[in-house]
Amino acid sequence: MGFAVPVGEWIRGPMKEWAEELIDNKRIEQERYFNAQAVVEMWQQHLSGKFNRTHELWNILMFQAWLDNQ
């Protein structure tokens, strides 16, 4: 049996700065792969604890990180 990785907590805590750089509103708008307003709303909901948006945000973060390396 595996174990859960606390990605949601990490992107609220020690990985927050990294995440915010990748999903910066201006960057998202400029790249035009995602709806910037929707990403900002998900990020704010996740940070506030109102909703757990870990899965959605992690997918966006991984795509953005991949873009940085291309």
Indicate if the pLDDT at residue 2 is higher than 90: no
What confidence tier does 56 reach under pLDDT thresholds 50, 70, 90? very high
Of the candidates 5, 55, 4, 66, which has an alpha carbon nearest to the alpha carbon of residue 31?
Answer: 66
pLDDT, one tens digit per residue, over 15-30 is: 999 999 999 999 999 9
Number of domain units in the chain? 1
Alpha-carbon distance of 65 to 29, in angstroms, equals 16
User: Is residue 16, in this structure, part of any structural domain at all?
Assistant: yes
The reply to whether 1 falls in a domain is no
Q: What is the rounded CA–CA span in Å between residue 20 and residue 32?
A: 17
In a domain, 2, yes or no: no
pLDDT score recorded for residue 30: 95
pTM of the model: 0.89
Place of tokens 């990020």: 43
Residue with tokens 């595996």, as numbered in its chain: 2
Query: Which residue range(s) make up the domain with 18?
Result: 7-68
